Structure formats: structure tokens, C-alpha cells
Structure 1
Amino acid sequence: MTIDHSDKIAALEAAAASGLLTIESEGDRQTYRSMSDLLAALAYFRNQQASGTPTISRPASTVAVFDPR
């Protein structure tokens, strides 16, 4: 399952263009410490969107069986 980051990317691009450090996307509000932090987040979400890599990973499951024979 891949996640669509287009809303987050659009909000980050708009903030970068206007010089703001606070974005609102998908009901969340995020304030970045600096423009370089905002641009790093933008690069991260663009890479995630381009690669189609899911950002949510599930841990692997392991099953142990005890056989007292």
C-alpha cells in the first residue's frame, strides 16, 4: 500500500514559495524550525511519492513452536 503525498507536497511547495515555515495539510499543522528543514521534508515526500515506497512498514512476524519430544 503506497500513500499519496501530493497534498503534503503541495503545502510544502506553497510554504517554500511564500517563505512560511508552517503548513497545514490533511488536518495536520506542522511548523518547521528553518527553511532548510522544510526543504528537507519536501525532498523526503517527493522521493517517497516518486519511488512508490510505502512509508508505513509493518514488523515481520515470527512464530515459535515448542515440541517436547
Structure 2
Amino acid sequence: MSTPAERIAKLEEALGNGVLTIESDGERITYRSTSDLKAAIFYNRGLLSGSDVQRTASTIAVFDPS
């Protein structure tokens, strides 16, 4: 299995070339969009730095009875 640094390099190379499919260690991954590719880069950078890479989403709904 490749390291986070190796995955980041492959992901950034793909992003720079406008490619959404990456092959590594006999595995092929196709991302749906450049946004998904950027998210994978962000995730792997978090792994590399040892920080918590999980993000939580929240939504607030306000009810106005008037």
C-alpha cells in the first residue's frame, strides 16, 4: 500500500493534468469530479500531518410562524 505522501503526489499529478482516474498498487480509482479529487488530497494531507481529518456537516433550520 502506498503512503499518504505517495497518494498525494499521484492525486496532485492527476489534478494538474485534468485526469480523474488514478492507478496505484494495481488499483484503479475514478473520481466523479475535481471536487472529489481535491477532497481526497485534503484527506490524505490530514493523514500525513496526523490531524483529525473528519469533518462534520451541520444544518440549521429556523421556523418563522409569521
TM bucket, shorter chain: 0.5 to 0.7
Say whether 1:48 aligns with 2:47.
yes
TM score, norm. by length of structure 2: 0.67
Instruction: Report the aligned-residue RMSD.
Output: 2.0
How many corresponding residue pairs? Answer: 51
Gap runs ≥5 in structure 1: 54-69
Conserved 8 A contact 1:21-1:32 = yes
Name the SS of the counterpart of 1:20 in structure 2.
coil
Runs of 4+, deviation exceeding 3 Å: none
Partner of 2:10: 11
Q: State the Cα distance separating 1:26 from its structure 2 match.
A: 2.1
The whole-number CA distance in structure 2 between the counterparts of 1:17 and 1:46 is: 17
Give the gaps of 5 or more residues in structure 2. 53-66
Whether 2:46 is the aligned partner of 1:30: answer: no
Deviates more, 1:20-29 or 1:40-49: 20-29
Could you say which structure has the larger radius of gyration? 1
Q: Distance in 2 between matches of 1:4 and 1:33?
A: 23
Q: Which has the higher contact order (CA 8 A, sep 6+)?
A: 1
